[in-house]
Amino acid sequence: MEQTAGRVTRRRVRTRANLLDAAFAVFAAKGFGRVSIEEVCEAAGYSRGAFYSNFATLDELFFALYQQRADLIAAQVADALAQDGPGLDVPASVDRVTEVLLLDVDWLLVKTDFLVHAARDPAVAETLLDHRARLRQAVADRLSRSRVPTELPAVLGGADGAAHAVVAAYDGVTTRLLLDKDVDGARAWLKQLLTALLTDGSGTPDES
């Protein structure tokens, strides 16, 4: 009985993962607002029943995708920052973060389509804002745990303000990336922006 339950659980996990992968590919090719549940099912090779046993709506499926990417980005940032131990060498951390951070044009296309969709639906917008707030909080938590938090420029208003600035810089750079598809250029710009935001602009923490 337990073995049967285990097989069902593994199959369900695999089905969910396949639906997510198929949805991502279809969303990237056609745009979030132009895709039906039937198209996702066809791409994944499953029935509508398989879809509804995992997701209630396409919005719910998107948020599962979003959580995947958010978890990946958070892990990348955490791994890069953890190398400083209890302290935080801002310029070195910026270098490491920008080297590994996910900059995927297909994901940005999907996310941007969904952002427009959310802007027209207050309930969806609220959920998306909650997801973004959790990502900002993860950045703020790490900045606030640094050995010398006052090294952040005072104009940012502390770790929370710095986290907002970091996410805003990422949003701006990825908007440009959507248009020019220059991933290396995006990494270089992001490095410059984050260094300027989090230090005195020269790469040396402001100790004034």
Residue corresponding to tokens 């941007």? 112
Digit-by-digit pLDDT tens for the chain (208 residues) are 545 545 558 888 999 999 999 999 999 999 988 999 999 999 999 999 999 999 999 999 998 998 888 778 777 776 776 666 555 677 777 888 788 777 889 989 998 988 999 999 999 999 889 888 887 887 787 777 654 444 667 777 777 888 888 888 888 999 999 999 999 999 999 998 888 877 755 444 444 3
Task: Check: CB of residue 106 under 8 Å from CB of residue 97.
Answer: no
CA 167 vs. chain centroid, Å, equals 10
pTM (predicted TM-score): 0.73
For residue 28, the tally of other CB atoms under 10 A from its CB is 18
Amino acid at 195: T
Separation CA 138–CA 162 (nearest Å): 12
**Token pair for 19:** 């639906």
Return the SS3 of 16.
Answer: helix
Question: CB under 8 Å to 137, separation ≥6 — which residues?
Answer: 163
Task: Check: CB of residue 198 under 8 Å from CB of residue 162.
Answer: yes
**Token pair for 5:** 């339950």
Considering only CA atoms, which of 165, 159, 132 is closest in space to residue 145?
Answer: 159
